[in-house]
Amino acid sequence: MAPTMFLLLLLSCAGESQVEPVSGSLNGELCVCSFNSSMWIFPTLRYEMVQQKVEICEGSINNQQHQVMLSSERLPQMQALLQNLTVRLEPYLYLGKKGLHSALWLQSLGQELKKLEDDIGLLHSQGKNNEAQTLSAEAIKLRTDVERMYLFDTLNMKTIKEKLRYLKNRAESCRSIPNDFRGTFTRCTRGLISNISSPVVTKISPFGKSLVSGSWGKQAQQVTSRDSESYWVQPLANSHAWGITLRLYPSFEKFMASTGHRDVNFASSHTHKNANEGPNGVLYGDAFYYHCARSADVCRYNLTSNTVAQVTLPGDRVGFNNKFPYCYYDCLAYSDVDLEADETGLWAIYATLGSHGNLVVSRLEWNGEALNVTHTWETHVFKKAVSNAFMACGVLYATRYVDDSQEEVFYAFDTGTGMDDNSLALPLEKVAKGVASLSYNPLDRQIYMYNEGYLLAYQAMF
């Protein structure tokens, strides 16, 4: 090697490469050069810092991967929960459209008011001028309030709807109730029921106490002399919700002795459309009236021809299939539609989504060929806050649970006037806690109760 030769050294350190010239001198046969070896020192501190950052990154990545895995597992659960909430909230979505919890739905309100004004105009044409003029004046005032709501939004929607309900009920009573609605029945001119006796009949159902739900009573309309002595029991033998058999007794004596009966099957099975749903039927004339299974219909089974006629109850989404049963702290399964009879005719008691679950009462009529609904009133009593109900002299009476041995009649709605009274406090004794059905009979003025397999009857006093 030439003595003056410069040596180029290639140095590598920690992944970094650089070329640096180094000068040297000749010492005999050796080339001696000096250089700084500090560049060869391994950067331990930098390596540890990088390693720590890598570990932190790996931990963060692992945590993110775990979160993604949990999200993948929980997402189907959250979707299922959301769908369940949607289904549960669906029955209440109408509240937003009806203006109860949102902006006033004035267009619908105006349409209802227009229908009321048309009905009042019809009253004028029927010659019922005095009541019609009063209703017309109140309707004009209500129209003024509604128009003011359009402009100033100063009145409360709920108050207006309550006024509208009240006027609609009064118009319905005036328009549709016959002139002799009350006059024909002497006892119906004496006002509301003033007292209810202790049980005058106490008997265990001929089907036994295991069938805790059903209805019973006495023939409510005398077509023949035989009808006045007809007693009946209708048990719900399938899940305490559906029934297909009506047991008839020709006399009170045979009913008490559980002999001489005949059984009538008005449907072929409990799943048939003509099966009875719920415990509130009534025997009226030559037919048994009851709630048709899984529908918003009332069935009429003709005991002579063994044929069934039906009519659909009016209203915005009638409750059935346990939508609006009678309740206290327990609900009476499938008691959505209640059929009743009194001095003035046949009745259906139920609730609808349009009435916000409040009691609705409709008057039924059989014209010899078809079953029709001729009148409908709305109350402001929530059906699930009522343990049972019955009709007497055109008045709806509602009961509530007091304790295991007593119910109380606390509310009355008079279809003849459209007025209600929630100040009643009439005690009603019972043997067991659950009241499956209550029905008033216009022939003997007794109230019949199906009380967890016990058959009880009370005398009503006006």
345 and 266 share one domain: yes
Domain endpoint, select from 125, 153, 176 = 176
> How many Å apart are CA 122 and CA 124, to the nearest integer?
5
Q: What is the pLDDT of residue 85?
A: 57
Instruction: Indicate whether 223 and 99 sit together in one domain.
Output: no
| Beta-carbon contacts of residue 169 (< 8 Å; ≥ 6 apart) | 377, 378, 418
The confidence score (pLDDT) of residue 82 equals 57
Judge if 55 and 197 occupy the same domain: no
Backbone angles phi and psi of 34, in degrees to 5: -115, 145
d(CA 87, CA 76): 16
Q: Terminal CA-to-CA distance of the chain, rounded, Å?
A: 139
Is the Cβ–Cβ distance between 174 and 132 less than 8 Å? yes
Same domain, 85 and 108: no
Residue 2 belongs to a domain: no
The answer as to whether 449 is a domain residue is yes
The reply to whether 114 and 68 lie within a common domain is no
- Residues 32, 56: one domain? no
Q: Which residues, in sequence order, are CB contacts of 440 under 8 Å at separation 6+?
A: 340, 341, 342, 390, 391, 392, 397, 446, 447, 448, 460
Q: Could you tell me if 81 and 87 are in contact, meaning their C-beta atoms sit under 8 angstroms apart? A: no
Query: pLDDT at position 220, please?
Result: 92
Same domain for 124 and 202:
no
Tokens of 16: 């970094």
Residue 34 lies in a domain: yes
Q: H-type helices in 245-393, by residue range?
A: 252-257
Domain extent at residue 121: 94-176
Contact 458, 447 (CB under 8 A): yes
Pick the last residue of a domain from 145, 176, 207. Answer: 176
Asked, for residue 1, whether it belongs to a domain, the answer is no
183 in any annotated domain: no
> Does 25 lie in the same domain as 50?
no
Domain count, the chain: 4
Calpha distance 348→329 (Å, rounded): 24
E strand spans, 56-154:
none
pTM exceeds 0.75 for this model: no
Residue 181 forms part of a structural domain: no
Q: Of the residues 59, 74, 92, which one is the last residue of a structural domain? A: 92
Beta bridge partners of 196: 460
Helix (H) or strand (E) segment spanning residue 107: helix 106-125
Same domain, 78 and 111: no
Distance CA 449, CA 197 (A): 13
Token pair 């501190």: residue: 45
What phi, psi does 163 have (nearest 5°)?
A: -65, -40
Helix axes 129-152, 157-176, angle to 10 degrees: 160
Residues 430, 342 share a domain: yes
Query: What distance in Å separates the CA atoms of residue 412 and residue 429, rounded to the nearest whole number?
Result: 19
Rg value, the chain, Cα:
40
Same domain for 66 and 197, yes or no, is no
Clarify whether residues 168 and 220 are in a common domain. Answer: no
CATH number for the domain that contains residue 224? 2.115.10
Q: Is residue 322 part of a domain?
A: yes
Determine the pLDDT at residue 372.
95
Q: Is residue 182 part of a domain?
A: no
Identify any residues that bridge with 419 across adjacent strands, giving them in sequence order: 414
Nearest to 168 by CA among 345, 269, 315: 315
Q: Of 137, 149, 123, 339, nearest to 246 (Cα)? A: 339
Mean pLDDT, each 10-residue run in order, the chain (462 residues): 39 45 73 67 76 85 77 63 61 52 57 76 69 77 72 61 78 65 60 93 93 94 67 94 94 93 93 93 94 96 94 92 89 94 94 93 93 93 95 95 95 90 94 95 95 96 91
- Compute φ and ψ for 165, nearest 5 degrees: -60, -45
